[in-house]
Structure 1
Amino acid sequence: MSKDKASGFALILLTTLCITYIVENFLRSAAGALTPVLIEELGITHGAMGLLTTAFFLVYGLMQVPAGLLGEGYGPRKTIIWSTAVTVVGVFLFWINRSYPVLFVAQFLVGIGSSTFYINSVKLMLEWFPPSWKATAVGVMSASSGIGNTLAYMGFPLVYERYGDWRSFYIIVGVILLLNWVMNLFLLKDRHPPNGGLKIHDMVESVIRVIKNPKMQPYIISYAFRSTNFVLGIWLTQFLIDAKDFTYLQAGQINSIGTLAAIPGCIVVAAISDRLKKRKTPLLFFAFMTFLANALILVLPAGSVVLFSAVNAVMYISVGYWVLYFSMVPEILPANESGIGLGLINAVCTLGISLLSPIYGGLVDITGNYWASNIMLLIGALLVPVLMLRIDDPYGGLSH
């Protein structure tokens, strides 16, 4: 394929991957956005609601290393196609059922299906985009997650407030995913041939080698603590209702302003990194800004929707630093291990969400307030920039 045709295809690829990622982030955020509704509808505790979100994130986290390996063995295209089919099944199961156990299983299936997408879509973009645009391309797709999150956190309160039901809205988005899956059948294309399968012994050796790599260790550990940012996003709507006396609709507005701000946040952080030709400096700056914004939104006294929305917007713009990890890991690892490295950091973060989300809700049930839960999250947010002080800037070390 000529250079011009490859560039044109890269943009087509980015477009269809963005659509998939928008819907998958809507599905990821759905349980968090519906927390007040599901607690009342199902008659469950905060801890049980935390476990329902864990049904998604636990399997999503456990699948991250296999997701990278599946991409290496069978190619990103085939991996994305088959896993998205599983997501579609989970979506329709979540839509038609009203019992906690079945919703738990549906969340589990959506988690399995969604788990392979991000890692393998990043691999496709790193294959098709030129070096000077790799981080920006990853940033643009990552930014599209904000659209999906906003659709969930703003859409569900609006629809529920007006119609008293959320399932029709949910299934409409599910149908969009099904149509996009058909698009991906025709549009996704691997640039390099896959290895042709997985060898368990080689797989285990590769994973161990990446974990033992001293350059990777601060990335793995710090990204595990980044899970605290996700947990705050999951619980923010309920926190704003319980602790700040906002209505469900107002809390949804505040949360959705943040998720909307994440769209330019991911793009801006990635573009700044590419233009500065640095990764470490922007990562440290925006990670520390995330901590400060987290602290502010938690300690602010109950007040206006505008004030909380503004602080939440700053927090979500700053948290766009996470996209840099997905450019940095391929810059410190050889090409045949980059998928494993990306899978590992995504795994530890998602497993952290699975662990911390029910703990967060359980602490609220035990203490009757949010202080212990929020202090736990603030410590994790601060540890991200502290741990990344150890690294050397990896810019310019792209694996080809």
Structure 2
Amino acid sequence: MLFKKNSDLSSLSLTKQKPTLLAVVICILASCFYMYEFILQVSPAVMTNQLISDLKLNAITLGTMTAFYYYSYTPMQLPAGFLFDRFGPRRLLTIAILMCALGAFLFSSTTTIATASAGRFMMGMGSSFAFIGTLVLISRWFPSRYFAFLTGLVELMSCIGAIVGETPLTIAVDHWGWRHTILNLAVIGVILGLLIWLIVRDSPEVVSKGHKFQPTSKKGVLHSFRQVAENNQTWFIALYSFMVWAPITAFAALWGIPFLVIAYGISTKAASAACTMIWLAIGIGCPLLGWWSDTVNLRGVPLKFAASLGLIGLIPVIYIPHLPLLWLYICLFLFGLAASGQSLAFGVVKDNNHSSVAGTAMGINNMATVAGGALFQPLIGIFLHFSWNGSYYNGRPFYTLEDYRKAFIILPFCYLIAFLIGKFLIRETHCQQQSNVSL
């Protein structure tokens, strides 16, 4: 499927060549799209109070509205891979980022929860192409020996986007207001979309020989999906990815900042700065965990270690009162390192499936990874609402520390389940393609 064609291109024209400047620029532009979509993804976390006040929301409606991003993002992960096979990355990435920009514009001008949800839905739809599209371009423009390292750098770009979406975006919201901040992001998206259209090319052959992109057949796509879906390891690994990433989408991308404001008596700006430790840890942890796994020639040990860090880091943040700020930062950093397990899971699912269907396998894994946002953001909102005592502050619902602690109780259990999956269900591959995997 997706990477079958890509590997053919690499073997024919790239294996013995050094990456060109054009290849570097193309992949940087695609990575910038991935960074941009992460800014959009986490942006509601720094404007929850403003959104609640301006749009007359409560915890349930806020969580549901922001989760509309994931309602389109999550199911599009698998067809996104198929569509890249059919139409190529240049056209799809351009259309996708312009859709993100249009969604941001709609969100910035909304006066109702319906149009705000529609804007989030459009942002998620466009963003769903960013990660897989970047991997497609890397696999076509760089020799295969660079793939794992560059994938780690792409993950780092996403974390930079999330960091920008925390403290810098908080400053922007304080200065311009949330509407003008999102509107400016829409303008940035249009500019980036034009650059991608003007510079990005589908493959080196398109540039050097003028070859047109050749799509795969629909029959090949269906066969790829069936083969991957029948492998139970695909689903065990996907469930692990869901469990280690869902707390991130619930805490770091939405509910963590207002919780830290209440729990530690700090400002929104200080809380967003604390949450940047999570994204910083993910950016560092993704390549580090992959390097450790390759060095010891094991997958299971790093997967279990990552899940353990989630328990060690998250429980003190939520349930130990008056945690010193230094220890808060350390625990949030450990929490972020735990989420790096989802990055290693892409290598594990690739080991457990035939190389010709690696794209489909990684698409399913990525779909499971981001599904946590669609489920957990509104779920935490529901838990908060039913714990709420009915009090208001400045015209909006006020949730106490105990309300948050009750709502967050499911988050540590995610890492416990992930640890058990890593220990008992995921097969150790020793970083090798499994011999019993066949077409």
Aligned residue in 2 for 1:238: 258
Question: Partner residue of 1:397?
Answer: 433
Residue 225 of structure 1 and its aligned partner are, at CA, apart by: 2.0
Q: 2:125 aligns to what? A: 112
What per-residue deviation string (whole Å, max 9, x for no partner) do you get for residues 18-58 of structure 1?
A: 21111110001012232222112222110111101111011
Query: Which of the residues 185, 198, 201 maps onto 1:173?
Result: 185
CA contact (8 A) 1:65 1:343 kept: yes
State the Cα distance separating 1:316 from its structure 2 match: 1.5
Q: TM-score, normalised by structure 2?
A: 0.82
Give the drift of 1:237. Answer: 0.7
- Pick the aligned partner of 1:151 from 138, 147, 164: 164
Q: Which has the larger radius of gyration?
A: 2
Question: Which of residues 272, 275, 295 in structure 2 aligns to 1:255?
Answer: 275
Is 1:283–2:303 an aligned residue pair? yes
1:386 and 2:406 correspond: no
CA distance in 2, matches of 1:204, 1:169: 42
CA contact (8 A) 2:299 2:428 kept: no
Describe the SS at the equivalent of 1:215: helix
Number of aligned pairs? 397
2-side partners of 1:218 and 1:130: how far apart? 30
1:99 aligns with 2:135: no
**Counterpart code for 1:287:** A
| Structure 2: distance between partners of 1:308 and 1:19 | 30
Change (3 A) 1:190 1:292: farther
With the length of structure 1 as denominator, give the TM-score of the two structures.
0.90
Letter in 2 for 1:208: R
Give the Cα–Cα distance (whole angstroms) in 2 for the partners of residues 272 and 188 of structure 1: 34
CA distance in 2, matches of 1:121, 1:328: 20
User: Secondary structure, in 3 states, of the residue corresponding to 1:345?
Assistant: helix
**Once the two structures are superposed, what CA deviation does each residue of 1:54-90 show, in whole Å capped at 9, x if it has no partner?**
1101111111111111122223333323222211211
User: Where do 5+ consecutive residues of structure 2 fail to align?
Assistant: 1-12, 206-211, 389-402
Q: 1:127 & 1:197 partners in 2: Cα distance?
A: 15
2:17 and 2:77 map into 1 onto residues whose CA distance is 33
Deviation, structure 1 residue 115: 0.8
Q: Give the SS at the match of 2:367.
A: helix
Pairs within 5 Å for 1:25-64? 25-64=38-77
Tell me the CA shift for residue 382 of structure 1. Answer: 1.9
Kept in 2: contact 1:63–1:115 (CA 8 A): yes
CA distance in 2, matches of 1:345, 1:194: 26
Note if 1:374 corresponds to 2:408: yes
Say if 2:334 is the partner of 1:314.
Answer: yes
Tell me which amino acid in the other structure corresponds to 1:372. K
Summarize the Cα distance change of 1:175–1:269 in structure 2 as closer, same or farther, 3 Å threshold: farther
Structure 1: tracts of 5 or more residues without a match = none
Asked if structure 1 preserves the Cα contact closer than 8 Å seen for 2:90 and 2:200, the reply is no
Partner Cα distance (1:78, 1:52) in 2: 29
Of 218, 229, 247 in structure 1, the residue corresponding to residue 236 of structure 2 is 218
Identical-residue share of aligned pairs (%): 20
- CA distance in 2 between partners of 1:173 and 1:270 (Å): 32
Please say if residues 14 and 137 of structure 1, whose CA atoms lie closer than 8 Å, have aligned partners that are also in contact.
Answer: no
In structure 2, distance between residues paired with 1:291 and 1:80: 37
